[in-house]
Amino acid sequence: MARPVRAALREKIAAAEIGLTGADLAIAETGSLVLVSGSGRPRSTALLPPYHVAIFDREVLVESLEQTGVFFEAWHEGQAEPGRGAAVHVITGPSRTADIELTLTRGVHGPKEVHAIFVDAPIRG
């Protein structure tokens, strides 16, 4: 994607109220979403808007973090969807930080809220 197009897309995503994505994996044990960014799949969609909503089906649901290893081995070899990507992001809710007085603030480095929607039916074409 050309740099001016990428910059324009980033501006639109940053101005959006909601970032809507799928998930390459969803980890039941931790409630984490795994997203692989790359061409046509910008990481900014999950990070810049104040609300991130990810929709996924049972095909990407794994029980534990350890079970993601099989996916990552296949991904590394280019055999798993979405193929090679630029980066892997594991998202487990909004970021949290506290100052010296222990005042907790959410969403400082990303969305203020993260929502995961599980669809109990195949959603891939």
Portion of the chain with pLDDT greater than 70, in percent: 90
Q: What is the CATH number of the domain that holds 100?
A: 3.40.50.10420
pLDDT of residue 82 exceeding 60: no
Write down the pLDDT at residue 70: 84
Looking at per-residue pLDDT, the higher value among 106 and 45 belongs to 45
* pLDDT level of residue 81 (50, 70, 90 thresholds): low
Residue 96 near residue 4 (C-beta atoms within 8 A):
no
The answer to whether residue 125 sits within a structural domain is: no
Q: Distance between CA atoms of 73 and 88, rounded to whole angstroms?
A: 13
Write down the pLDDT at residue 98: 79
Looking at per-residue pLDDT, the higher value among 112 and 79 belongs to 112
Write down the pLDDT at residue 110: 84
How many residues can be counted in the chain? 125
pLDDT of residue 80 exceeding 80: no
pTM of the model: 0.80
Q: Distance between CA atoms of 65 and 33, rounded to whole angstroms?
A: 11
Domain with 65 in it? 3-119
The answer to whether residue 68 sits within a structural domain is: yes
Task: Say how many domains are in the chain.
Answer: 1
The answer to whether residue 124 sits within a structural domain is: no
Structure tokens at 66: 């350890």
Q: Distance between CA atoms of 13 and 47, rounded to whole angstroms?
A: 9
Determine which helix (DSSP H) or strand (DSSP E) holds 32, and give its type and residue range.
strand 32-37
